Amino acid sequence: MQDNADRKLFLGARLKRLRRDLGLTQTAMAEDLSVSPSYLNHIERNQRPVSAQLLLKLAETYDVDLRTLNRAGEIDEARLGEILADPVFKGVSAPRHELMQVIEEAPAVADALLRLYQAFDDQRARARAAAEHGEGLDDAAPADWVREFVQSRGNHFPDLDQMGEALAHTLAREQPPHAEGFEAAARQRLAVAHGLTVRTVPSEVMVEWTRRFDLHRRRLLLSESLGPSSRAFAVAYQLALSEHGGDLNAMADAARAPDPATRSLLKVAMTNTLAAAILMPYTAFHRAAEETRYDLDRLAARFGVSYEQVAHRLTTLSRPTARGVPFFLMRVDQAGNISKRYATGAFPFSRFGGACPRWRLHSAFRTPGRIITQIIETPEQDGKPGGRWFTFARTVERQGRDGFGEAQDLAIGMGCELQHAHRLIYAQGLDLQNPEVTPIGPACRLCHRHPCAERAAAPIDRPLAVDDWAKSLSPYPFAAG
């Protein structure tokens, strides 16, 4: 058997995808890497392996996580398989080697298929919801495109982190006398540098808005319904726009969103990221996270932010010289609707379905404000072994409640690979060497775990096995593959 040290790496399609994402020609990338264009061309066509020296040069030049590059195709393979399990493709069989051939030899076609299915699935869901309410169907929402764009970059934007850190240092120097906290310094910066004032306004005046900028009077209006952390974030958001509006516009334009609405939503997401980087500067926040063993409540108190803001920030700690625990995050409401889904690591989210009911994320609603921990195991998929993950979940209040919601009406679920759990305060006292593990799966229509009392649908690629003489634990028993 060939030793791992001697194994040749053929990463042509992945290198080509990286070059395309960076907007570079072969000639430009070859110049950056100090190789000839013909040599780079041979590598992209898998006619030459990638050397260790070239991998190191890639990491140094483009700030690439080599582990991510080495497994770049894995997520796409799983997602393509998930797509083809949809009932719309019933009767179509694509073996693993064909999926890999598409990914390796025609990555643009794989991307096109993913985007097309994403649009189709969103349109189908919206059509179903509109029909249930007797309404017409409007244009597809751009949220999924933005989510995929952010996730394709590992939810990490180094330029925004650097801008946020620099601005946080400026605010610390300009701290008003006898004033404490971020908000006072940020308000002064807005007033002195940009001629803007900040006012808190009654909810009945703001009506549906929690934050609104009055351009003509140069005022930022904030609803009184916002708590201290949400108010501070709103001020940070305005400061991010005022200080780096041009940079944010340039980054949004460079992403080449498919339409103006998607581009606007992407800019909002990037501005939110910059606001978080101002409130929680990378170096200080990463150091505090390590010192507190990722205690989210202590981090929230130290930086004057909310539990949810800390949770989101923890999914962005991917700086090569100061990496945090590679977390994933999912936010759901009591009806199971997923409104946030981010990952620094490689958690196998079901892209086109919900969360497994065996994961205790939804159980958080039964114990508002308390942390619930669980170790879960994802199944083997396409010959790849499953993984074990340490997870924790708790409820948070929704910002700007309208008077009809309950006190805790959203749940935040977070987790990381089990190998990182010893770094977390929430795993203290657990036997991580011989843990109690709960097997979970992807969306029910893709899951082959049996029996399962929580199953909501049979797998799409397995026939039902209903027996008149016996009743299964599962409401949808199915034949083995």
pLDDT in tens, 414-425: 999 999 999 999
Residue pair 378/386 in contact (Cβ under 8 Å)? The answer is yes
- Check residue 78 and give its pLDDT: 67
* Residues pairing with 342 in the sheet: 329
- Check residue 75 and give its pLDDT: 45
- Check residue 295 and give its pLDDT: 97
Query: Would you say residue 4 has pLDDT above 70?
Result: no
pLDDT digits (tens, 9 = 90+) for 240-259: 999 999 999 999 999 999 88
Domains 8-70 and 322-442 share a fold: no
Query: Would you say residue 29 has pLDDT above 50?
Result: yes
Q: Which residue shows structure tokens 């501070």? A: 232
Task: Name the superfamily (CATH) of residues 8-70.
Answer: lambda repressor-like DNA-binding domains (1.10.260.40)
pLDDT digits (tens, 9 = 90+) for 208-252: 888 999 988 999 999 998 989 999 999 999 999 999 999 999 999
Tell me the pLDDT of the chain averaged across its residues.
82
- Check residue 345 and give its pLDDT: 57
Q: Which fold has domain 158-279?
A: Arc Repressor Mutant, subunit A (1.10.10)
Residue 329 corresponds to which tokens in the numbers above? 């995050």
Of 479, 481, 443, 478, nearest to 458 (Cα)? 478
- Check residue 102 and give its pLDDT: 75
Options 3.30.70, 3.30.450, 3.40.50, 2.60.40; which CATH number does 322-442 get? 3.30.450
Percent of the chain residues topping a pLDDT of 90: 38
Q: How far apart are CA 114 and CA 198, in angstroms?
A: 43
Query: Would you say residue 3 has pLDDT above 50?
Result: no
- Check residue 385 and give its pLDDT: 61
Element spanning 199, H or E: strand 197-201
Question: What mean pLDDT comes out for the span 402-413?
Answer: 66
Question: What mean pLDDT comes out for the span 150-177?
Answer: 89
Phi, psi of 67 (to 5 degrees): -65, -40
Element spanning 104, H or E: helix 96-105
- Check residue 481 and give its pLDDT: 60
pLDDT digits (tens, 9 = 90+) for 249-290: 999 999 999 889 999 999 999 999 999 999 999 999 999 999
Q: How far apart are CA 355 and CA 403, in angstroms?
A: 28
Residue 477 CB contacts under 8 Å (≥ 6 apart), including other chains:
450, 451, 458, 464, 465, 466, 467
CA distances to 73, 117, 150, 252, 429 from 111, in Å: 11, 10, 15, 20, 44
- The sign of the CA dihedral 421, 427, 431, 434 is negative
CA atoms within 13 A on the CB side of 398: 15
DSSP of 458-471: --TTS-B---TT--
In three-state secondary structure terms, 187 is helix
- Domain assignments of the chain as residue spans, ordered by start: 8-70, 73-140, 158-279, 322-442, 448-481
pLDDT digits (tens, 9 = 90+) for 186-200: 999 999 999 999 999
Size of the chain in residues: 481
Residue 231 corresponds to which tokens in the numbers above? 């108010």
- Check residue 73 and give its pLDDT: 45
Of 443, 311, 285, 442, nearest to 364 (Cα)? 311
Q: Please state whether beta strands 372-377 and 438-439 pair in parallel, antiparallel, or not at all (unpaired).
A: parallel
Residue pair 26/37 in contact (Cβ under 8 Å)? The answer is yes
- Check residue 279 and give its pLDDT: 97
- Check residue 6 and give its pLDDT: 47
Percent of the chain residues topping a pLDDT of 70: 83
DSSP of 334-378: TT--EEEEEESS-----TTS---TTSTTGGGGGSTT--EEEEEEP
Residue pair 224/207 in contact (Cβ under 8 Å)? The answer is no
Q: Decide which of 144 and 425 is more confident.
A: 425
Question: What mean pLDDT comes out for the span 411-438?
Answer: 93
